Structure 1
Amino acid sequence: MRELTPLADYQQALANRNRTQATGVVTQLLTDGVDPVTVLTDVIATSQREVGMRWQRAEWTVADEHAATAISVAATGAVADFVSAIPLRGRSVLVACAEREFHELPAMIIACALRAHGWDTTVLGAATSPMRLSQHLVDHGHDAVAISCSVLGALPTTRRFIEAATAAGVPTLVGGPAFGYDDVRARALGATAWASSAHAAVTAMEGLPTVSGVLPEISPAASAEQAQLDLHHRRIVESLRERWSLTRDSSQNTMFANLTRDTLNQALHALSAALLTGDPRPIAETAWWISDVLQARDADPASVAELAGLLADTLADYPLARELVRTHFTIESS
């Protein structure tokens, strides 16, 4: 029988829900001298992306995904214990997730990576309020703030995080899937720097200025429309649910009903993100994601095109969002 690689061994541990095996893999790698940040990125983070894809492909349930994530949290804790012996270099960073961001593991990975390079890290955790962030900066003082954002719905609150840090004169580093594959959304929100990975975060943090710069202004019209979308989000989702054939047909299937509700939430979050950042790519990316998720569950592929039409019709009072749907909510443009 072929011997498993550490990555395959770790992923097998996740599939088997074996926390001891998973933490054993990372502990052995660290003992063998593998760079802690490499363990975080190439084993834990890589495996976590695969966990998400298994759910997307309908191979795993939400419960399976949560169980695997809990194991990865424990494995990251094992790396954190290992790097705690590394001497501090006298600089501190506050790591947090903005409100509506409940994926804490990426923030833990970034904090652990920075600690491995001598940063004194404090993790506030998931769904932190801007008020709590501001108070922590006042009470303790930090050289930088690192903000993790995995979901598009948390980009507006991430902007408020950046505003709070900037008001305190503290530079910000942002990262996570919600920012995409370049720094366009990060710059639009006013972040000092953006990082694509834990390795990149370590490098970017070393190059941060000592104080934050001036925040860029967001288009008043786009900002106002985004705020109204946010305010009426629930009502719009319910209106779409009443009209979309996929949600009407799945009303007796609780699991599928929850899935379709999530797709509607994601569609509106993508519009909100595009309005706030001036970057339309989240809309096409979300349309593709919805199509992929639904097709994996044998839903009618035409339902995505139907949803695009319903969105444009429902958003008649939101001209900017409506035009974004008409132009970008297509599978072809993703």
Structure 2
Amino acid sequence: MTAPGGTLTPITAPIADAYLGLVADGDEVGATELIGSLLADGVPAQRIIVDLIGGAQRRVGELWAANQWTVAREHAATAVGERALAAVAARTTVPPRRGRIALACVDGEWHGLPARMLAELLRLDGWRIDFLGANVPGRHLIVHLHQTGPDAVALSCMLPTRLPRAHAAITACRAAGLPVIAGGRGFGPGGRYAQRLGAQAWAATGEEAVTRLATDWPPRNVTDLPLPEDESFLGDEEYTHLARCRPQLIATAMDRLPTVYPPARDYDPVQAESTSEDMGHIADFLAAALYVGEPEIFLDFVSWTAEVLSSRSIPSTALRQGLTLISDQLVDFPTATSMLTTALQSLPRT
């Protein structure tokens, strides 16, 4: 990427720490002033987006997972990051010279800041960007594509639980004759789920997406592109059952929980609601793993959840019982049962 003129001052650790401190304090004014001073000193806008704003957001996620920050503080920090990104956009002007890209988070995906960062990186590289934001229903995305006629579509998916909807969006884009470049952790290590679901390309980072789009992509003739691998297993009987019966699975698990986990008898309404949400996460990640035929999706979720619970002094017994209560209701579904059994075996016994 071409950097603006001026002295190329790097994003040093003290600068990153100062910005994180402003984010932690919810200081939008201070954060945008710091951004302005860095741009005035010649720091490339791309480095501010990737190293400073992006680096701080990764740290914010780590602090939440470690139970050092509340959800409210994490949300406030993200809002500051959005304002800081807007400050970069307001102070940098690059005429569009390449083409037009529609960029959206898939239906149900609310993590919009990473996609917004990509939008600004692409804008800085000369693309005209239609940034559609978070949680874009597939039907509205397709209407926009027919109305505007972009050269390509960029889809962001940060959580694997959104993969079925990502697949629907990718399929619809291809039917409209538009190539899709996918990004986000939800598409798995190396983006292997993206190709399986029909995306023509995947980028691990925003900078990689910029490079890819500036060189050998997007393809000009989507009909000549290879189709994805066999899709016959996608959304099979086990996935369909789990998706349809999700409310009943959660309700039954919550009804049985106090019997197998006595501390749940004393849960207040907030704790009960939180536990119900956790049961929902178990069902959703299991469904995603079944949809794409990748047990690692579910096993990685269970491992991460165990670490988060441990940081909050919640014993693994609680997670174990949740998994068991879901498993007991899926005895007629061997693939789901196998994933749950492997997950249970991976948990420490306390």
TM-score by length of 1: 0.90
For 1:330 and 1:68, the matched residues in 2 are separated by 37
1:224 matches 2:237: yes
Aligned residue runs from structure 1 range 21-100, under 5 A: 21-83=30-92, 85-100=93-108
1:14 matches 2:19: no
- Alignment match, 2:167: 159
- Alignment match, 1:319: 334
Task: Give the aligned length.
Answer: 329
Aligned residue runs from structure 1 range 111-260, under 5 A: 111-206=119-214, 207-208=216-217, 209-212=219-222, 213=225, 214-220=227-233, 222-244=235-257, 245=261, 248-249=264-265, 251-252=267-268, 254=270, 256-260=271-275
> Helix, strand or coil: the match of 2:170?
helix
1:244-279 superposed Cα distances (whole Å, 9 cap, x missing partner)? 33882463161x444433332222222222222222
> Helix, strand or coil: the match of 2:91?
helix
Relative to structure 1, the CA distance from residue 290 to residue 116 in structure 2 (aligned partners, 3 Å threshold; closer, same or farther) is same
Query: What one-letter code is carried by the residue in structure 2 that aligns with 1:251?
Result: Y
Q: Which moved more, 1:218-227 or 1:15-24?
A: 218-227
- Identical aligned pairs, as a percentage? 31
Relative to structure 1, the CA distance from residue 47 to residue 61 in structure 2 (aligned partners, 3 Å threshold; closer, same or farther) is same
- Alignment match, 2:9: none
1:163-188 superposed Cα distances (whole Å, 9 cap, x missing partner)? 11101111111111212331211111
TM-score by length of 2: 0.87
Relative to structure 1, the CA distance from residue 309 to residue 18 in structure 2 (aligned partners, 3 Å threshold; closer, same or farther) is same
1:299 matches 2:314: yes
Q: Which moved more, 1:186-195 or 1:207-216?
A: 207-216
RMSD: 2.3
- Alignment match, 1:262: 277
Q: CA deviation at 1:79?
A: 1.9
1:58-106 superposed Cα distances (whole Å, 9 cap, x missing partner)? 11111111111111111111122234x1121131110101111111111
Query: What one-letter code is carried by the residue in structure 2 that aligns with 1:210?
Result: R
Q: Any unmatched runs of 5+ in structure 2?
A: 1-11
Contact kept, 8 Å, 2:286 with 2:298, in 1: the verdict is yes
Contact kept, 8 Å, 1:194 with 1:204, in 2: the verdict is no
Q: Any unmatched runs of 5+ in structure 1?
A: none
Q: CA deviation at 1:281?
A: 1.4
For 2:281 and 2:49, the matched residues in 1 are separated by 28
Q: Which moved more, 1:24-33 or 1:98-107?
A: 24-33
Q: Which moved more, 1:127-136 or 1:33-42?
A: 33-42
Relative to structure 1, the CA distance from residue 9 to residue 309 in structure 2 (aligned partners, 3 Å threshold; closer, same or farther) is same
Q: CA deviation at 1:47?
A: 1.1
For 1:191 and 1:247, the matched residues in 2 are separated by 46
Contact kept, 8 Å, 2:64 with 2:71, in 1: the verdict is yes
> Helix, strand or coil: the match of 1:126?
coil
1:112-153 superposed Cα distances (whole Å, 9 cap, x missing partner)? 111111110011111111111111111100111111111222
Given candidates 247, 263, 274, the residue that maps to 2:289 is: 274
For 2:345 and 2:38, the matched residues in 1 are separated by 44
Query: What one-letter code is carried by the residue in structure 2 that aligns with 1:131?
Result: R
